[in-house]
Amino acid sequence: MLKNDLLLRAAKGLEVERAPVWLMRQAGRVLPEYRATRSKAKNFVEFVKTPELAAEVTVQPVTILGVDAAIIFSDILVIPEAMGLPYEMIEAKGPRFPNTINSKTDIDKLKIAEAGDLDYVMQALKLTKRELNNSVPLIGFCGAPWTILAYMVEGSGSKTFSKAKQFLYTQPELAHQLLEKITLSSINYLKGQVAAGADLLQIFDSWAGVLSEKMFYEFSLKYISQICDALSPLVPVTVFAKDAHDGIEKIAQTTCSSIGLDWTIDPLTARKQAENKTLQGNADPCLLYADEKTIIAQTQTMLKTFGKQKYICNLGHGLYPDIDKEKVKLFVDVVKGYGW
Ligand code: CP3
């Protein structure tokens, strides 16, 4: 039994004494302790593949920041790699794929990943679970099929992902074939994560916002929905589709338990659009650049607006590496000390 199961109760819509808090990218460069552990690995990809190091940085924010959940340290790009498309992480630039997907032949060559292809993540989950010693829940995750396709076709990050979108517009059937393969791989992967100890899963659709509403439903939400159907019977699933604006109402029709919101979404509007779901979010990470008084006031306003029940406190996207660790801690403390 978990000593602190606030996150799981909130996700399931059960009563809580206060809202749980965790932060996207809590295991990251904001913590000097993360940077110290990271320097022990040759590069980012090797770091992710070393279960002892991954488990170490997964536990760090629980101990140092006092958050109510751990999220396994890994990356969404391990799925393309397990399917046969390796990635690199270029310092200060981001991900890069030496080979990209352009044709039917490329797609046919990809395999449907099994949990066993990602054994290093399973080992990291098991180790972390042991180290957490039932203190807080452990979150597993994957990228949404559209966001994964976007990297596989584009070959790197992009402001517009126009190459990936070109693929959707010019070769929609191939795009669906690829999305299907990614979806099946992600389902296998997430089932493995649950078997290895993940208590809740989050699907990150970081690039939902570059799609039109119609294309979001056709090329993204359809597959997110399939993943939710496969995993929701096992553990609660959170869908975070960044910049999906008008998509909240449709996301609420999937079998997910909670919906992650970015900071452009009005909490009360989202409540009306997703009455049946728990909401997660949605402070602007840049709020943590502000002075302490502003951070306290704006965080408290957010908590009051969302309310105590069916709410998971988080940011609207990941922490930026240059945010002051003390400000992050302040944010967490404000949530935990709020007059719930
Ligand atoms: O604490 C956590 O949130 C868990 C770990 C985690 C990482 N990546 C570690 C990481 C998670 C959940 C992710 C997901 C991820 N990875 C997403 C979805 C979430 C989002 O941010 O929208 C995406 C799009 C990626 C792909 C990715 N990985 C990019 C674009 C980058 C470069 C950006 C950067 O900050 O440098 C990464 C690298 C990465 N993944 C880092 C971390 C801690 C920074 C790398 C480093 O240590 O140098």
Q: Is the pLDDT of residue 177 over 90?
A: yes
Which pLDDT value is given to residue 245?
Answer: 86
Atom 2 in ligand 1: which residue has the minimum CA distance?
25
Condensed to tens digits (0 to 9), the pLDDT of residues 38-95 reads 999 999 999 999 999 999 999 999 999 999 999 999 999 999 999 999 999 998 899 9
Asked if 25 is an active-site residue, the reply is yes
Atom 38 in ligand 1: which residue has the minimum CA distance?
94
Which pLDDT value is given to residue 92?
Answer: 87
Q: Is the pLDDT of residue 122 over 90?
A: yes
Cα 339 to ligand 1 centroid, rounded to whole Å = 33
Cα 228 to ligand 1 centroid, rounded to whole Å = 22
Residue 117 near residue 184, CB atoms below 8 Å: no
The residue from 5, 9, 18, 25 that is catalytic is: 25
Pocket probe for ligand 1: among 39, 75, 87, 201, the residue whose CB has the most ligand atoms within 8 Å is: 75
The residue from 34, 151, 189, 311 that is catalytic is: 151
Atom 29 in ligand 1: which residue has the minimum CA distance?
94
Condensed to tens digits (0 to 9), the pLDDT of residues 281-328 reads 999 999 999 999 999 999 999 999 999 999 999 999 999 999 999 999
Q: Is the pLDDT of residue 14 over 90?
A: yes
Band (pLDDT 50/70/90 cuts) for residue 246 is confident
Ligand 1 atom closest to residue 26's alpha carbon, by position in its atom list: 1
Asked if 38 is an active-site residue, the reply is yes
Summary mean pLDDT of the chain = 98
Q: Is the pLDDT of residue 332 over 90?
A: yes
Which pLDDT value is given to residue 274?
Answer: 98
Residue 318 CB–ligand 1 contact under 6 Å: yes
Averaged over 225-253, what is the pLDDT? Answer: 97
DSSP 225-292: HHHHHHHTTTS-EEEEETT-GGGHHHHTTSS-SEEE--TTS-HHHHHHHTTTSEEEEEE-GGGGGS-H
Asked if 169 is an active-site residue, the reply is no
Residues ≥6 apart with Cβ < 8 Å to 198: 72, 125, 138, 139, 140, 190, 235
Atom 39 in ligand 1: which residue has the minimum CA distance?
75
Asked if 151 is an active-site residue, the reply is yes
Complete domains list, the chain, with CATH: 6-337 (3.20.20.210)
d(CA 7, CA 235): 12
Q: Is the pLDDT of residue 13 over 90?
A: yes
Residue 325 CB–ligand 1 contact under 6 Å: no
Ligand 1 atom closest to residue 27's alpha carbon, by position in its atom list: 1
Q: In the numeric block, which tokens belong to residue 218?
A: 């056709």
Condensed to tens digits (0 to 9), the pLDDT of residues 262-275 reads 999 999 999 999 99
DSSP 281-310: EEE-GGGGGS-HHHHHHHHHHHHHHH-STT
Which pLDDT value is given to residue 321?
Answer: 96
